Structure 1
Amino acid sequence: MKKFIAVSFLLGIGFLSAQSISFEQEQIDYGSVKKGENGTKVFKFTNTGDKPLIVSNVKSSCDCSVPSWTKTPILPGKSGEITVKYDTKINGKFSKSIEVYTNDTKYSRKLLKIKGEVK
């Protein structure tokens, strides 16, 4: 019985350890920007787990915002970035989503948002 409990405990710890993504912020407000101004913003994140985190894909809700990201595995305690470049040649208010796909066991898909207004 003691062996069964010990093995169950060790297996339980194995399931508890994993990679985990944590963002400094999940929404960036550009505020009011001038037409043609630099539309680049950065979402910073950290692997708060104990296994390497892999960001497998990042998709934007439109062609007007282009994401790029850290493509190498993020070791535990280390950080990475998702850079989003919004096309500020388009006048008006905007609100767009960025989908982040990772090997995080709890949140394999995370939704980020950008918003603002180009005048």
Structure 2
Amino acid sequence: MKKLILSLTALTLAFTSCKDDATKKIDQSNITAAAERDAVASKFPVIKFEKTEHDFGEIESRTPVETVFNYTNTGDAPLVITDIKSSCGCTVPQDWSREPLAPGEAGKFTVKFNGSGTNKVTKTITVTANTEKGKETVKITAFVKPDPNKTTNAPAAH
């Protein structure tokens, strides 16, 4: 038992006596690099749209229409848009830049709507980017009038 206690005491002394002051092992350049990395990591691009909704008003059924959504990067880091998708296939976003957009720079994308649907129609366009939220949305709306050339199958009067 004495040997066990003596061994444990020697082992404890060996570990505690080998410890140097931990602050002497810190490399100041690593602290600076970590601080810069953390400062940059907290900076995000911010996409600010000129408008977040566009109303086409009344349109004839199957009449294609389009609009442009303009935006500016008002954040502190380059903005990268990786994807733009619509809530359905009748609305097609296109023509956006996949290149990083520096803070203060502006960009745009076009949204084409084929005029499908009836009455009040709303479509959501989701912009996937490196913003803090990761996804931003804009909307288009229209009142689609019935196709005048399409006949309705109304029940015959007797």
Following superposition, the deviation at residue 9 of structure 1 comes to 7.8
Q: Which of 68, 71, 81 matches 2:98?
A: 71
Following superposition, the deviation at residue 59 of structure 1 comes to 0.8
- Please say if 1:80 is aligned against 2:107: yes
SS at match of 1:14: helix
Structure (1/2) with the larger helix percentage? 2
Sort the Cα spacing of 1:9 and 1:72 in 2 relative to 1 into closer, same or farther, 3 A.
closer
Which residue in 2 is equivalent to 1:48? 74
TM-score w.r.t. the length of structure 1 is: 0.79
Structure 2, gaps ≥5 residues long: 1-27, 146-158
**Which amino acid in the other structure matches residue 82 of structure 1?**
F
CA RMSD of aligned residues (A): 2.4
Which residue in 2 is equivalent to 1:96? 123
Structure (1/2) with the larger strand percentage? 1
Question: Separation in 1 of the partners of 2:104 and 2:83?
Answer: 21
If asked which structure has higher relative contact order (CA below 8 Å, sep 6+), I would say 1
Question: Separation in 2 of the partners of 1:88 and 1:9?
Answer: 53
Question: Separation in 1 of the partners of 2:74 and 2:93?
Answer: 22
Per-residue displacement from partner, 1:16-50 (whole Å, max 9, x unpaired)? 43311111111111111234544111111100112
SS at match of 2:40: helix
Q: How many residues align?
A: 114
Question: Separation in 2 of the partners of 1:49 and 1:37?
Answer: 38
Identity of aligned residues (%): 34
Q: Which of 45, 53, 78 matches 1:27?
A: 53
